[in-house]
Amino acid sequence: NERANYEAAYAIRDILDGLPENEVFSLLDPKMVERVQYLVPSYLIDNLKNLAMVVLCLDKLKPDGIILHNDVESIPRLAAMWAKARGVPCLHLPHAVYLEQKNRAPVGCDVHDLVTASHLACAGWFQRQWYFERGFPSENIIEVGIPRMDKLCNMKMERDRIYDIFKLNPKWPTIVYASSWWQGTSMTEFEDLVRPAFMAFLETAKRVDGVNWIVKLHPRAPKENDDWHVEAIKQSGVKAILVKEYLELIFQVANVLVMFGPSNIAFEAGLLGVQMVSINGFYNDPEVTTVGISSDEIGNGMKQALTNKIPLQNFLLKYIGVHDGQSTKRALEYAHGLFRV
C-alpha cells in the first residue's frame, strides 16, 4: 500500500545518505560509490516495501505470539524483531538442525548465528547446546524433537510396492546420493565443493554394477543446480533415478545414504535404519562413515556401510531428540502455554 511505499523510500534515503560517511565506502573510488548509490534503490525497494507491509499488518493484527520456522530470512527475522520490540513472545521452531563443519567460522560469522526470537523449541541436546553457545538463554529452550519427522515415525509401506513405483531391482542394494548446492551463508565458505563431490561419486558409480542408484536433489535448490546434476548424470552414463521428494518412500528400501554433508537428511535416513556415508561433516559421530572428495574414498565408504550395520539410536537422540511421532503435539502444547491461548 501507499504507506509501505513511503516507509521503504524513507529507509532507502537514510541508507544512501549514510554511504559517503561509511568507513568502507570512504576507501572506494567516488565513481564506485556513485554507482552503488544508483543501484541500491532498485535492489532494496521491493524488499523494504514488503518488510514495511509486514510491520503494518502485525501492528494491525496484534497477535498474542509469533511462531517462526527460521530465524534467518528477512521476513521471519523482522517478525521476531517486531515481537521483541512490543513484548510479544516469539517461538522459533527450527525447520532443521544447524550442524558443525570443518570450515565453519567462529560464532558470529555465520548468518545462522544471530538469534532474534525470544523462545526456542529445539530438537535434541546438540541443538540446545548450539543455541546456548550463541547466547540463547537456556531457560527459554525446550526440546520437542522435529515435528516434520513425525510422519516418518508412523509411515510404513510395502517394500515390493516401492520397488515397483521406482522401477528398482529388489535383488540389488539401493544407494541414495543426496546432493546440495553452494549457499555461501558463512564468511569462510569460499569454494563450491558440491559439484566436485558429485563428480567423484559418479566416477565410483560408473565402476560398480548391480546397484540401484538414486540421486536426491535438495527441494529448495535452484533450477540451475538441478539442470547441472541432470547433465552430469547424462554425461557419466550412470543409470540413476533422480528425485527431489519421496524420502519417506526411498529410505524404506535404501541400504546406504551417501550425502554431501553435513545434512539433515541423515536424520530422516537414520529413522528408517539406513547406514550413512558423509562427504564433509559428522566427523565426531562414529555412526557415520566420513570420506573425502575422492572416488576411491567414496567407494570404500559405501562398501563399509553396506557391510557394517551400525546402531543409530545415540546418533538420533543427539541430534533430533525424542522421535516418537509426538513432536508436533509437544511443540503445540509449549506454544499454547507460552502464548496463553
Q: Kindly report, residue by residue over 158-216, the tens digit of the pLDDT.
A: 889 999 999 999 999 999 999 987 665 444 444 578 899 999 999 999 999 999 999 99
Cell triple for 319 = 541430534
Burial of 148 (0-12, 13-18, 19+ CB in 10 A): middle
Q: Are 117 and 80 in contact (CB under 8 A)?
A: yes
Contacts of 26 (CB under 8 A, 6+ apart): 20
Per-residue pLDDT of the chain (341 residues; tens, 9 = 90+): 566 666 666 676 676 666 656 665 666 677 766 776 666 666 677 677 788 889 999 999 999 999 999 888 889 999 999 999 999 999 999 888 888 766 556 676 677 777 899 999 999 999 999 999 888 999 999 999 999 899 888 777 788 999 999 999 999 999 999 998 766 544 444 457 889 999 999 999 999 999 999 999 988 888 998 999 999 999 999 999 999 988 889 999 999 999 987 889 999 999 999 999 999 878 889 999 999 999 999 999 999 999 989 999 999 999 999 999 999 999 999 999 999 87
Cα–Cα distance list, 144 to 141, 208, 263, 317 (Å): 10, 42, 20, 11
The model's pTM is 0.80
Cell triple for 201 = 561419486
Per-residue pLDDT reduced to its tens digit, 213-243: 999 998 888 899 899 999 999 999 999 999 9
Q: Would you give the distance in Å from CA 286 to the centre of its chain?
A: 22
Farthest-apart Cα atoms in the chain, separation: 69
Cα–Cα distance list, 140 to 10, 122, 135, 209 (Å): 36, 10, 11, 52
DSSP code of residue 153: H
Rounded Cα gap, residues 142 and 280, in angstroms: 29
Angle between helices 194-206 and 223-236 (to 10 degrees): 30
Task: Tell me the β-bridge partners of 92.
Answer: 68, 120
Sole residue written with cell 525424542: 322
- Number of other residues whose CB lies within 10 A of the CB of residue 109: 11
Three-state DSSP class for 183? coil
Helix, strand, coil share of the chain (percent; to 5):
50, 15, 40
